[in-house]
Structure 1
């Protein structure tokens, strides 16, 4: 097994664990609804989403040589989540770059499509995207609370979280479907270019 295959497998396993956490959270909340479990539920939701985003980025970075058109320098820097500066002695300093989730998720879906030579956009047209942006703020609020009210998760926020998971899962499945179809089309084009007896 190659290093790329090992890395892909590890990312897949991580996502599966985090999806399990989310589903376990639904079960626990149905038996014992508490603010602690509600906060844990929100955190596990975003951990699962961000693990999928990381997995998509990893897949893109492992397929860079296949991208057509090739990725720009800017796209590569964002995919690597790095920033660079120069210190006073003229040496390059590399540091991790924090990317805002609402922007990062749209970028990743678009570049995932580009990696496979197709168009792919996250659906941001309806209430699901609005719920997503609101729940990102809820996650940020409970991660960096300033008041007691900041750590209270409402019934509405929990209900939106459950809907959000379904929406995001559909978006992820769609990304796999679109890119798989693009690969199938490429294979058919390549087959037509081969001599008749070679297929």
Structure 2
């Protein structure tokens, strides 16, 4: 059985930093191992699984931070019904993690909600070629995880390109979002605290 936090032993409820670190290392390691045997289909599929586990964790980590902000900062606006469904319960110990949405929609809505809650001038870069590569990689990943034919589990060189670009794009957008968040906090501190 996977490990769970032991609250009585003072273990934290949320360990998003550790989660992202582990999954980021998985992506790095998967690519590193694949580099030694580039045609190995198992290793290629392992890269795909590592990338999309990391992407899912990034989205959930943003939601954790949004929930925390809403609990602590108590903004003067109400979340829409869709936004509440996206986030799930604001309680740190609740098991309600929100409505399950398709990955692409979940990603866009989460980034948009983060910008709203944190009052950022931020927009997810979803107009460029890198985002299109992400969408293609996601569709290939869906075939891989729900195979109907042998060809659905075969990962080509072109597929690997899309996966690599998708991974880099998501990491860059995550970095941009949290850079904007930190800059927003610095501005707030200078303005209100001195």
TM range (shorter): 0.7 to 0.9
1:31 alignment counterpart? 36
1:143-162 maps to which residues of 2 (within 5 A)? 143-162=145-164
* Aligned-residue offset at 1:95: 9.8
Please identify which structure carries the higher strand content: 1
Closer, same or farther in 2 for the Cα pair 1:166/1:23, shift >3 Å? same
Closer, same or farther in 2 for the Cα pair 1:131/1:95, shift >3 Å? closer
Query: Structure 2: where are the runs of 5+ without partners?
Result: 1-6, 90-95
Judge conservation of contact 2:86–2:98 (CA < 8 Å) in 1. no
Residue 73, structure 1, aligned to residue 75, structure 2 = no
Larger Rg: 1
Partner residue of 1:140 out of 139, 142, 145: 142
TM-score by length of 1: 0.81
Cα distance in 2 for partners of 1:183, 1:117 equals 10
Partner residue of 2:124 out of 122, 125, 128: 122
Judge conservation of contact 1:142–1:151 (CA < 8 Å) in 2. yes
Judge conservation of contact 1:68–1:115 (CA < 8 Å) in 2. no
What's the Cα RMSD here?
A: 2.1
Closer, same or farther in 2 for the Cα pair 1:97/1:151, shift >3 Å? same
Query: Structure 1: where are the runs of 5+ without partners?
Result: 82-93, 192-198
Cα distance in 2 for partners of 1:133, 1:160 equals 9
TM-score by length of 2: 0.83
* Aligned-residue offset at 1:125: 1.1
Structure 1 runs of 4+ aligned residues shifted over 4 Å read none
- Structure 1 stretch displaced more, 135-144 or 154-163: 154-163
- Structure 1 stretch displaced more, 95-104 or 170-179: 95-104
